[in-house]
Structure 1
Amino acid sequence: MALAIEIAGIQKRFALRHTRSLKETVLWLLKGRKGDLSKTFAALNDVSLTVEEGETVALLGFNGSGKSTLLKHISGVMLPDTGTVRTRGRVAGLIEVGAGFHPDLSGRDNVFLNGAILGMSEKDIHRQFDSIVDFAEIGEFIDTEVRFYSSGMYLRLAFSVAVHTDPNVFLIDEILAVGDEPFQRKCISKIKELAEAGKTLVVVSHDLELIGQICRRGVVLEKGRIVHDAPVAEAIAHIRGQ
């Protein structure tokens, strides 16, 4: 089967800058301390991973393990310092609530803006518009500026746009925790539909029960490295220390 995602030896480092007062900074320099006032840490360290078309994969790990950073590299939001990331087909999903939305534009305008960012043509957006609004359940607010939306309204509209792009690869980062329970169930049902349709799914979530329902494979990260890659039940057991 063809590969939907191919990641080879990627590394990503971030600076940890320590806030100091002017007095502390002057004393630091007078004492002859060298270098800048920051350290770096490896968010991802030589990560390689392949995902076949149609696979449903969970990225698992404790806070700071590198899950979300890896997902952002797959989405193209971040670029690695070294290594390569390749994806096949249209990639869409939810990395952050309201990402790609402009607060001064209405929900209607943001549907067209976000849809275009995710690769939809204007014709496709017009064709799918009513369905997007119906799924999001915000019809009466669609012409309101999104700055006045609650986080749940952001989620519903962002998720609706993303699933209507008909993506080949769908990415989700802990985002379903924001919505209310009825909409979470609706989203989960839609995600299962995507999986059954042969779409590739990569999910980050601390909800291990949900992961067990949606995904078949689990990849466990620890301190920026992949430490376990197995069927999802085994990966969940690894996380739980069983």
Structure 2
Amino acid sequence: MTAAIDVQGLGIRFRRNRRGRRSFKDLFAGASRRSRPGEFWALRDVSFSVMPGESIGVVGRNGQGKSTLLRLVAGVLLPDEGGVEVHGGVAPLIELTGGFVGDLTVRENVRLTAGLHGMPRAEVSARYDDMIAFAELEGFQDTPYKHLSNGMKVRLAFSVVSQLEEPILLVDEVLAVGDKAFREKCYARIDELLTEGRTLFFVSHNERDLRRFCTRGLYLDGGELVLDSTITDVLDSYNADHGAK
């Protein structure tokens, strides 16, 4: 069986100054793989595979490369060494409110965002009422997006992205937002998607969520993969190193 996600020798480095990533001049000049002054490796020599239907939780302290790894898998960032192969489309439940247009209405944003993620127009129309109902925005469909509260924006974004039919879910801390009732709706929706056989790649600091959704874990520390095991073993190791949360 072909892996849903295959990561081999993955590495990426950043600058500590305002320029962030290296410039195109650096890249075309054949920059050395060694770090230069002001650069650091956010991830280095990371390798693992995720099979279709697996639920993987990524564990580690802030600044250890978890979200960077997720963005590399999503194709938002490009590696400096190694590679990532993703077999199948992804539903990115990351930076949920990104990509929405403030001056467009809720209705227009739903159609635009779903379409940009590849959902056919007829399917958007068929699912539109369900997306609005899930987000609890029935009375706000003609309201400009910029006038919504932050909670409304998050509900709308999760509702749209979670309706995508892509086989791989990339989730980054989105369950930490919203009120308790909405989080329970998110939990139930993710449970449904996992029951359908979707692959889950989940970055979180919430141990309860990790134990609920994941069977396997990856423990990142200092940009390196220090443990790839069951989620129980990974969380036990993390807590032993840094104290139970």
User: Displacement of 1:151 after TM fit?
Assistant: 2.0
Residue 188 of structure 2 is aligned to residue 198 of structure 1: no
Say whether the 8 Å CA contact 1:10–1:44 is kept in structure 2: yes
For residue 27 of structure 2, what is the aligned residue in structure 1?
A: none
What is the 5 A alignment of 1:122-141?
122-141=121-140
Rg: which structure is higher?
Answer: 1
Say whether the 8 Å CA contact 1:151–1:178 is kept in structure 2: no
Mapped to 2, the partners of 1:64 and 1:214 lie a distance apart of 23
Q: CA offsets per residue over residues 172-223 of structure 1, 9 Å max, x none?
A: 1011111110010110111111111110001111100111011101100011
Unaligned stretches of 5+ residues in structure 1: 20-37
Unaligned stretches of 5+ residues in structure 2: 20-36
Q: Go from structure 1 to structure 2 and tell me whether the alpha carbon gap of 1:18 and 1:163 turns closer, same or farther (over 3 Å shift).
A: closer
For residue 77 of structure 1, what is the aligned residue in structure 2?
A: 76
What is the 5 A alignment of 1:26-105?
39-105=38-104
Q: Give the SS at the match of 2:15.
A: strand
User: Displacement of 1:18 after TM fit?
Assistant: 7.1
Letter in 1 for 2:135: A
Q: CA offsets per residue over residues 97-116 of structure 1, 9 Å max, x none?
A: 31221122111111122112
For residue 144 of structure 1, what is the aligned residue in structure 2?
A: 143
Mapped to 2, the partners of 1:133 and 1:216 lie a distance apart of 32
Q: Go from structure 1 to structure 2 and tell me whether the alpha carbon gap of 1:18 and 1:86 turns closer, same or farther (over 3 Å shift).
A: closer
Q: CA offsets per residue over residues 108-146 of structure 1, 9 Å max, x none?
A: 111122112222111221111111111111111122111
User: Displacement of 1:154 after TM fit?
Assistant: 1.5
Q: Give the SS at the match of 1:6.
A: strand
For residue 13 of structure 1, what is the aligned residue in structure 2?
A: 13
For residue 162 of structure 2, what is the aligned residue in structure 1?
A: 163
Q: What's the Cα RMSD here?
A: 1.7
Say whether the 8 Å CA contact 1:106–1:142 is kept in structure 2: yes
TM-score calculated relative to the size of structure 1: 0.88
Moved over 3 A (4+): none
Mapped to 1, the partners of 2:153 and 2:75 lie a distance apart of 21
Letter in 2 for 1:46: D
What is the 5 A alignment of 1:217-228?
217-228=216-227
Mapped to 2, the partners of 1:79 and 1:146 lie a distance apart of 31
TM-score calculated relative to the size of structure 2: 0.87
Aligned residues: 225
